[in-house]
Amino acid sequence: MQGRNVIRAVLFALFFSIGTASLSSAILCDDLVRYYRNKDLLTKAQESVRRLKSLNAEYDILLKTLEADPNLIVERLGPATFGPDPNLHDLNTVYPRATAEQLAAARRALMAEPNESAPGRTPGQTMPQWLSRCSEPRRRTMLFVCGVVLILTSFVCFRPAKPNAE
């Protein structure tokens, strides 16, 4: 008789815990999706702030260098604006000019998002795949119904046995 009560208690705990997990995931699905989206936005904002701090540090160094040597402006901005002066360099050297398409491609390459990958996720996605599948309305409803059925089953089928009146 004791063996049956132990098995009954284990099955009750198993069915009840699985039902509770299913029911709670169906109910809290929107909050979990919102959490992962906010986490993704925070990560992107932190990366953007890190890039901006890096650019600010580079520009501060450049401004200090330009303040120390004003002739550097002519040396740096002149060739960038008007192109290199072929008279100052070797005559056998070719000085290519960048086209607008090449500059746009370089800008896109520099501003491209870094690829992040984690197990069970596609690059750039922080929300787990199981959560994106569970957030579909049809599957979410099925999770809810299955959780309720498992909880009811655990209470109905695995309740303590009433002693016989014999």
Average the pLDDT over 147-163 and give the result.
Answer: 85
| Distance from C-alpha of 164 to C-alpha of 57, rounded to nearest angstrom | 83
- In the predicted model, is pLDDT for residue 115 greater than 60? no
Contacts of 39 (CB under 8 A, 6+ apart): 126
Tens of pLDDT, residue by residue over 23-82, are 999 999 999 999 999 999 999 999 999 999 998 999 899 888 888 887 777 776 666 666
pLDDT value at position 83? 64
pLDDT value at position 93? 67
Type of residue at 13: A
What proportion of the chain, given as a percentage, has pLDDT over 70? 75
pLDDT value at position 140? 93
**Could you tell me if 43 and 126 are in contact, meaning their C-beta atoms sit under 8 angstroms apart?**
yes
- The residue extents of the domains of the chain are 2-85+123-157
| Distance from C-alpha of 101 to C-alpha of 141, rounded to nearest angstrom | 51
3-state SS of 98-116 is CCHHHHHHHHHHHHCCCCC
Instruction: Determine which helix (DSSP H) or strand (DSSP E) holds 131, and give its type and residue range.
Output: helix 129-134
Instruction: Determine which helix (DSSP H) or strand (DSSP E) holds 55, and give its type and residue range.
Output: helix 29-68
Instruction: Give the residue among 142, 146, 136, 135 at the shortest CA–CA distance from 30.
Output: 135
